[in-house]
Amino acid sequence: MSDSIENEPNTNILKEKSSIDHGQIEGPDETLQPSILIRIRTDTIYRSKLYQTLALSWLSTCLGWNAGQLGPALPDLQVITNTTLDEASYYLTALSLGFLIGALVAGWIFRKGHQMITMSTLTALFAILTAVIPWCKYYVLMIILFLIRGSARGVIDTGCNIMILEIWGKNNGPYMQAVHFVYAVGGIISPLATAPFLSIRVHAVNHTSKHTNISNFHKLSENFSASFKYGIIDSQETHNSSVHFAFAITAAFALSCSFIFLYFLCRSTKQTNNNANHSPTRVTKDLPRSIRLLSLSLMCATFWFYLFLEKAMVFFLPTFTLGHMQWTQLQGSYAATTYWTAFAI
């Protein structure tokens, strides 16, 4: 009888070890966790995680705000640099190329450097470049600024996702979803907040005679960028652009993120170390190379179409409504807001 009692704990230990080896036990039972409010008051590690997630959510909101602002502001940037729409479209090309470079080097940067230092430095750089862009009148310099700004944003955007994964581990689902949702919220609000600072475009309509001198007509077209339709010249003149104020607001938001990360940097790293020590054991499985290549290919194709809709389409949507549908810039901003609302849903 005594031998069976003594062997029972060993049997339980062997059963528990076997269940862990088969991936059945990966950490504490989530159903036994106290409520969120109790954990916020009593669990310092959980509270630190939540504060960092809120900071990353605010950063994601600022990034969405910036993404929603560029489309409505493109006609004003085009006027500032005195370029055509085809030339101004290279701003998006430079921004996307920079984003690609930043995303490629982000993993290496976050492995070699401190996360909070990297995020604080790059958000400050992003804020400075955002404030400088509307004051730049030189086309080549504007492209360079967009390239550098895109690189900084590529690292920031990737770093935001990396930090969410490292903070919450396998339980990152709702927090990752929340971060991307507030990104869309920033995109919804930004066009409406940017619209009052955009230039006022005056449509001057002049009726012409039936017999129009072709040479004079071409001269008018060159001077006023007019379009001749059915005997009516509809020209646009730009007045009172204050787009630099809109970019200054975006820069202030980004700079606030830099100070928030600086605050986390100045705090003790004790909680971070404890968080790493208390992280549950993760069971990983090696997939066959063919499955990994297929999965990565499908993910790349999905993101290719996704980023086309998120970046390129909404970037040119307000300009399309302004040039081809004769809408006002305010109406073009409403179109961008409608797009971001659908994106959030």
Overall domain count for the chain: 2
* φ/ψ of residue 29, rounded to 5: -70, 120
Instruction: State pLDDT tens for residues 310-333.
Output: 777 777 888 788 777 778 777 788
Mean pLDDT check: name the lowest of 17-21, 38-42, 112-116.
17-21
Q: Which residue has the higher pLDDT, 205 or 75?
A: 75
Do 314 and 221 belong to one domain? no
Quickly state the pLDDT bin for 9 (edges 50, 70, 90): very low
What does the pLDDT look like over 201-254, one tens digit per residue? 655 444 444 444 444 434 434 443 433 333 333 334 445 678 899 999 999 999
Band (pLDDT 50/70/90 cuts) for residue 339 is confident
Lowest-confidence pick of 21-25, 59-63, 141-145, 161-165: 21-25
Model pTM score: 0.73
Residues 6 or more apart whose CB falls under 8 angstroms from that of 64 comprise: 182, 183, 184, 185, 186, 187, 190, 340
Same domain, 128 and 260: yes
Closest CA to 36 of 53, 24, 61: 53
Angstrom distances, CA of residue 312 to CA of 69, 199, 220: 13, 22, 33
What is the extent of the structural domain holding 207?
202-236
Q: Which residues pair with 203 in a beta bridge?
A: 236
Residue 182 to residue 184: CA distance in whole angstroms: 5
Residues 136 and 248 in one domain: yes
pLDDT at position 300 is 82
Which of 64, 67, 68, 60 is closest to 336 using CA atoms?
A: 68
Q: Say if residues 333 and 192 touch (Cβ distance below 8 Å).
A: yes
* pLDDT band at 282; cut points 50, 70, 90: low
Domain match, 267 and 135 both: yes
